[in-house]
């Protein structure tokens, strides 16, 4: 009997959401926001990105509320929507563990083992970053080192998000190309 009551409550909640009742949306947001953020964070280990994805999912839920068709539970529907939003983000951004990220993680791991080697790699990485054009370098530093989102960078620098995206692509392409020779140099210096 309690299961039936829960289904009725869910049906009422969905109906109220379709009608554009803000309290239904607020209830869903407060009920699932933290849970979804924790789930997405477990996938990407980026709290800010996780919050953005969950907020985008909840916004799309509100915007598409009149077309909602739920065949499973409401919780599963919201979970699946959020998961799909995360996958869409990955496809859109073409996020991969590129050689630059790998170098950074390797550098951090090796710090405790070989301090001198760490300093050398950091200096080399900084030299590569300093070779970027000024605007490109500024955007890269804000994103990768200061952990600012593209939106924040665009606002800070009074430029479009598209400009930020293009400059980041340019920076990552340059660093990927040059990181290969850097990795080769590091390999040789570790052997000698």
Compute the distance between CA of residue 31 and CA of residue 57 in angstroms, rounded to an integer.
Answer: 14
Per-residue pLDDT 10s for the chain (192 aa) are 344 444 447 778 888 888 888 888 888 888 889 988 988 888 788 889 999 999 999 888 888 888 887 766 778 788 888 888 888 887 777 655 555 555 654 554 454 345 545 566 677 778 888 899 999 999 988 988 888 999 999 999 999 999 999 999 898 888 777 765 555 444 444 433
Place of tokens 């998961």: 83
Q: Is the pTM of this model over 0.85?
A: no
Whether the CB-CB separation of 125 and 103 falls below 8 Å is answered with yes
Compute the distance between CA of residue 177 and CA of residue 39 in angstroms, rounded to an integer.
Answer: 34
pLDDT digit string, tens, across residues 115-169: 545 566 677 778 888 899 999 999 988 988 888 999 999 999 999 999 999 999 8
């Amino acid at each position: 009997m309690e299961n039936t009551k829960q289904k009725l409550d869910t049906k009422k909640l969905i109906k109220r959401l379709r009608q554009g009742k803000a309290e239904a949306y607020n209830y869903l947001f407060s009920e699932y926001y933290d849970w979804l953020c924790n789930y997405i964070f477990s996938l990407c280990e980026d709290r800010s990105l996780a919050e953005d994805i969950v907020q985008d999912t909840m916004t799309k839920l509100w915007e598409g509320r009149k077309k909602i068709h739920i065949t499973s539970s409401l919780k599963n529907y919201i979970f699946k929507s959020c998961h799909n939003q995360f996958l869409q983000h990955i496809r859109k951004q073409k996020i991969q563990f590129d050689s630059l990220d790998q170098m950074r993680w390797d550098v951090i791991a090796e710090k405790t083992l070989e301090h001198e080697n760490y300093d050398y790699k950091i200096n080399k990485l900084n030299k590569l970053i300093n070779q970027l054009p000024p605007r490109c370098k500024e955007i890269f530093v804000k994103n990768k080192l200061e952990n600012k989102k593209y939106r924040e960078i665009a606002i800070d620098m009074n430029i479009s998000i598209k400009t930020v995206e293009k400059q980041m692509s340019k920076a990552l392409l340059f660093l990927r190309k040059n990181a290969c020779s850097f990795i080769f140099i590091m390999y040789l210096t570790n052997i000698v």
